[in-house]
Amino acid sequence: MTLTQTGTDELLMEQDGGVVTLTMNRPERLNAISGPMMGALGEKLREANRDPDVRALILTGSGRGFCAGLDLQVQAAQRSGNGSGSGTGDMPARPPIWSVQDAPPVILWNMDKPVIAAVNGPAAGYGMDLALATDMRIGGESGKMAAVVVRRNLLPESGGTWLLPKLIGMGKAAEIFMRGKTLGAEECLETGIFNAVVPDDQLLDEAKTWAHEIAANAPMAVQTTKRMMRMGLEESFETAFDHLMSHLTRLMGAEDFKEGLSAFIERRDPTFKGS
């Protein structure tokens, strides 16, 4: 596998074979989202989704936090007229809202490539929305989901109120959001927000194991499965069934289907090319 590293100071990108790891990199601010970080994250997610060599992604944070949300310190400093606060980022006085399609949680939701969140420490506010918009969440033992925005006269504006009820049910989601609760790793696992919890020092390795397992499967099948799961939330069973049959016909005509059958007969691991 070829390991490459690119990105910006605030967003690191590493590619290992078919797996891309994006690391939010403002550890001194618990990876609170700045304007440049948000722009870079959206750009790199789109690039990875277009790249045929990328088959799975991991989203995580550097240091001891996943993402503390939007950088409110910068916004507060700008509102009071005393500069940029922490000295990083260029957040406007109001939260940066471009078109809906430019918001990283929306990009995450609409991506065909599967994304795993490796939650290392707190995911609060916008950071919680980012994690919820991924396909799977693995938490370190110090991982937390902090739904504290109602304590700031804010709301989960980046999809949390839509995502969390679908993940764990309306009643439990209402309890978490309206009480402004912070859930530790084990409670996140019990409620179904986290898929797994591992020791902090094993978190990234575990996420990479999952991602490489996904990347070894037929990419057309993995991506179509994700798309059908996403579309199925808004479809009747009969409509979803009809869509699945049409995609199945296409997949069975692909070279990767022949490779999968040959590998099964020959009792070997398949080598899928995405065609």
Q: Average the pLDDT over each of 65-79, 118-132, 166-180 and give the range with the smallest value.
A: 65-79
Residue with tokens 């550097």: 62
Residue 152 scores a pLDDT above 50 = yes
Q: Where are the domains of the chain?
A: 3-215, 219-266
Interval 21-49 mean pLDDT: 93
Contacts of 163 (CB under 8 A, 6+ apart): 109, 129, 132, 133
> Residue 247: which of 265, 268, 230 has the closest Cα?
230
> Residue 140: which of 162, 166, 117, 173 has the closest Cα?
117
Residue 209 scores a pLDDT above 80 = yes
Backbone angles phi and psi of 151, in degrees to 5? -80, -5
How far apart CA 117 and CA 120 sit, in angstroms, is 9
According to the per-residue pLDDT averaged within each range, which of 60-74, 193-207, 244-258 is highest?
Answer: 193-207
Residue 83 scores a pLDDT above 50 = no
Helices (H) and strands (E) in the chain, counts: 11, 10
Interval 65-80 mean pLDDT: 71
Architecture label for domain 3-215? Alpha-Beta Complex (3.90)
26 or 89, which is more confident? 26
Q: Average the pLDDT over each of 110-119, 154-163, 198-207 and give the range with the smallest value.
A: 154-163
Architecture label for domain 219-266? Orthogonal Bundle (1.10)
Using 50, 70 and 90 to split pLDDT, how confident is the model at 6?
A: low
